[in-house]
Amino acid sequence: MDKRKLGTTNIEVSPLCFGSNIFGWTIDEATSFKMLDTVTGSGINFIDTANVYSYGLSEQLLGQSIKDLGLNRNELVIATKVRGQMSEKPNNVGLSRYHIFNSVDESLQRLQMDHIDIYYVHGVDQKTPIEETMRTLNDVVLTGKVRYIAVCNWPAWMVMKAQGIAEKNGWHKFIGLQYFYSLAGRDIEREILPLAADQHLGVMPWSPLAGGFLSGKFTRNTEKAGNSRRDVFDFPPINKERTYDIVDVIIETGKQYNVSAAQIALAWVRQQPGITSTIIGAKNIAQLNDNIRSTEITLSADDLQKIDAVSALAKEYPGWMAERQAADRK
């Protein structure tokens, strides 16, 4: 499997990143071990988790599986996150200096590691000033416990504010972004992807199959797949009527390539400009292998155009005005 440079770093990561959020939630320890063995055997070297996934059990199972498989830690890029509420205690949530420092140590203990390669802030914390968060993240990097910092789910203006604060003070800046991106949810094309291109940030899409809705199991005639997480956990939110049209197109495209609709949806994300590594998950080995094989597909220009036509965002202001006014500067 080929590798791609992550942002402004010299780290090379696989075009697919394995999301181990299911460890401890729907996957037990034995299956976690088998999945990680399959993942690393395929050439994927990028693995993502978070402290809040199963309240630490995902990190614990990931760390134990790496140890049991005898994998070389220094050949893997391990990412985890901080922000989510880890208990009902008042200071065990958010992006305060207190919680970040505590969370780093707790994550390392669960992972059985001495450092985290990519440390994401997992979302917005309205109660903590961005200055405090960015200074704390810089200090954590200086301890050697974290190599690089990144961000999930912040609005573009907030990311740029954080980058400006860090640059002004000579602190470490974010090197990557993790956001929901799929054919059913292309919202980040408005502000986040242009930001990433301008600031040379890596982009790691989560839920590229829109919670399984783009797997091909859901159609207008089949609103419940019967064996999908989306049957009981309707997330992330999407326009289902519009997405049914998208599903029709990727199913037909899949028939041309003799592959699943899911592989077409994943290949589309992988081929979009600015995308570094797409985060995949699976509930079993067969599904995992199907997702991994998406890297063998290169969609043609015609197929990309057909898929884009049915899934493209409607133009919004001020985007359409900026595009209109740019005509006299070409």
Exposure b/e, 116-144, CB count within 10 A at least 16 = b: bbbbbbbbbbeebebeebbbbbbebbeee
Q: What is the DSSP letter of 93?
A: S
Would you list the DSSP string of 42-56? HT--EEE--TTGGGG
Question: Dihedral through CA 188, CA 271, CA 118, CA 126, nearest 10?
Answer: 10
Q: Look up 53 and say whether it is catalytic.
A: yes
Cβ-proximal residues to 33 (8 Å cutoff; 6+ apart), any chain: 65, 68, 69
Q: Phi/psi at 48 (nearest 5 deg)?
A: -120, 140
Question: What sign does the CA torsion over 26, 32, 226, 217 have?
Answer: positive
Nearest to 10, CA basis, from 167, 117, 122, 152: 117
- The two tokens of residue 244 are 């049914």
Task: Quickly tell me which residue has 């783009």 as its tokens.
Answer: 214
Residues 6+ apart with CB under 8 A from 146: 104, 115, 116, 119, 137, 140
Helices (H), 200-284: 240-257, 261-270
Catalytically annotated residue among 53, 119, 148, 181: 53
293 Cβ contact list (under 8 Å, min separation 6): 259, 263
Q: List the catalytic residues.
A: 53
